[in-house]
Structure 1
Amino acid sequence: MQSQANSNPDLPRQLPPVERQRLHDTVVNHLRTLIIEGALEPGRKLNERELSETLGISRTPLREALKVLAAEGLVEISPNRGASVARLSATEIRDTFELLSNLEAFSGELACERITAVELAELKALHYAMLACRAHEDLPGYYRLNHQIHDRINLAARNAALRQTYLSVNRRLQALRFRSNYRKPKWDSAIHDHEEMLAALEARDGKRMAAILRQHLLDKRDAVLLMQAGVGGEADGAPQA
């Protein structure tokens, strides 16, 4: 007699994909973090054998993960050279940040109309947690919270088409946003921008919010371009994202 578990025709088909999906997501997230935080630097060739051994996985889930990251613009895959961490040109950086600045500005304007009191309170909590990371010079923690703030502003816009475009464009810049360092006056300016964002959201001032976010991202563009050109260095540096 067939067991009760096997009598459900959906059960055998559902369980294995769930497990594979967990592994897939774990590998993608881990590699994405390594790239964003600079452990895998731009231009570095990704050796499948070494990565498979380091992560304790076979090459099949690794290759699937690399394809996902390639679609996000974090990895480049060449038929002859294999996979490597993507490196954006100055023109690509300029163009992408200019586009992102307007996407974030539009998100902010819509968020001022649509954000709830609960969502605004959550943003304030994230902001204070981000300041704590700054005080402890915790760059990974700072970046993760900063990323959540920008992401939640975009979510508060409640525009599905904008959401998908924003995610696609922002993914290409995550590694640059993490690694770029400003001197302390620039970092303080970025913190001030975030405080101004919260004030604009609380006042429901969409035009002001859009202007803050647009300039915030353009300033970030300029910092990244200077970093790429080797200007400014990392002395007295602090994250600004």
Structure 2
Amino acid sequence: MSPLPKITRPLLRDEAYDRIRQAIIDGTLAPGTPLRDADLAEELGLSRAPVRQALLRLTGDGLVESKPQSYTRVAAIASDEVRDAVQLVRALHEFAVRQALPRLGTEQVAAMRAANERFAAAVGSGAVAAAIAADDELHDVPVRACGNHAVAATLDRYTPVLRRLEYARFSSLPAHRSVKRHTELIDAVEAGDAESAAAVTSKIWSDLEATLDTLATADTLETP
């Protein structure tokens, strides 16, 4: 039996990135929480170097904000960067649905319906992480079918920025509306109606942007 390979510094950096990012996304690290590399390194059992690298990457992702010699903290959920990401993601999903529609057959429609059933069950039980996973599976069907690698790569880049927003939406009562929206989308795909499918897709992501508006209003009201 060959020995296991040693964990390299890049892998430590990636592990730190994954752990901190997930804590930000699921709210364990709330918006505004100070992020001190020494504290995080101790908590994760790592040296400070991979943690610093992870924080730099998370800053580039828009999940962390930093001012030299002043602060490094979890970024606000309701920000211009997040709004930009929502609008871009909405446009790309609309494009993907339009392009994919001629390639979406019985098998793909069945996969979308199965994902929506899992989504509905997760929303009903309050399992937010499972709801987000099922939501991803549903929308990933047309993204894969459209065959545009640039669309898929851009969505991979910006979707994580929206995760905290999705946690806020799928933790609330309006999340149940997404089940209906998904059904409308799948019905339009099954009927081969590109215009309706694109319109429903736009509504789905506009609903997410409305969650952003709600959070921004709440932040304003809480500000002294």
Q: What is the TM-score when the length of structure 2 is the normalising length?
A: 0.82
SS class of match (1:57): coil
Residue correspondence of structure 1 range 144-183 to structure 2 within 5 A: 144-180=133-169
- Equivalent of residue 55 in structure 2, options 66, 89, 92: 66
What residue is the counterpart of 2:18 in the other structure?
29
Q: Tell me if 1:205 matches 2:193.
A: yes
Deviations 1:26-70 (A, max 9, x none): 322222211111111222221112211221111122122222222
SS of equivalent residue, structure 1 residue 173:
helix
Match of 1:228 in 2: 216
Q: Shift of the alpha carbon at 1:181? A: 5.8
Shift of 1:110: 1.7
CA displacement, residues 164-201 of structure 1 (integer Å, 9 cap, x when unaligned): 333333332221222236753x3332110011122222
Q: Compute the RMSD of aligned alpha carbons.
A: 2.7
Q: Closer, same or farther in 2 for the Cα pair 1:111/1:79, shift >3 Å?
A: same
Distance 2:141 2:44 in 1: 31
Write the distance in 2 (CA, Å) between the matches of 1:183 and 1:164: 29
Distance 1:195 1:97 in 2: 21
Query: If the length of structure 1 is used for normalisation, what is the TM-score?
Result: 0.76
User: Aligned with 2:30: secondary structure?
Assistant: coil
8 Å contact 2:13–2:53 — kept in the other structure? yes
Distance (whole Å) between structure 2 residues aligned to residue 28 and residue 117 of structure 1: 39
Q: Secondary structure at the match of 2:147?
A: coil
Structure showing greater radius of gyration is 1
1:239 maps to which residue?
A: none
SS in 2 for 1:35: helix
Q: 1:152 Cα shift? A: 3.9
Task: Confirm or deny: 8 A CA contact 2:111 2:138 kept in the other structure.
Answer: no
Q: Show structure 2 runs of 5+ residues with no match.
A: 220-224
Task: Specify the SS of the correspondent of 1:172.
Answer: helix
The CA distance in 1 between the partners of 2:146 and 2:13, in whole Å, is 30
Give 1:224 deviation, angstroms: 2.0
- 5+ residue gaps, structure 1, are 6-14, 232-241
CA distance, structure 1, for counterparts of residue 197 and residue 157 of structure 2? 22
Cα shift at 1:117: 4.6
**Is residue 119–residue 179 contact of structure 2 (8 Å, CA) maintained in 1?**
no
Contact 1:73/1:171 (<8 A) preserved: no
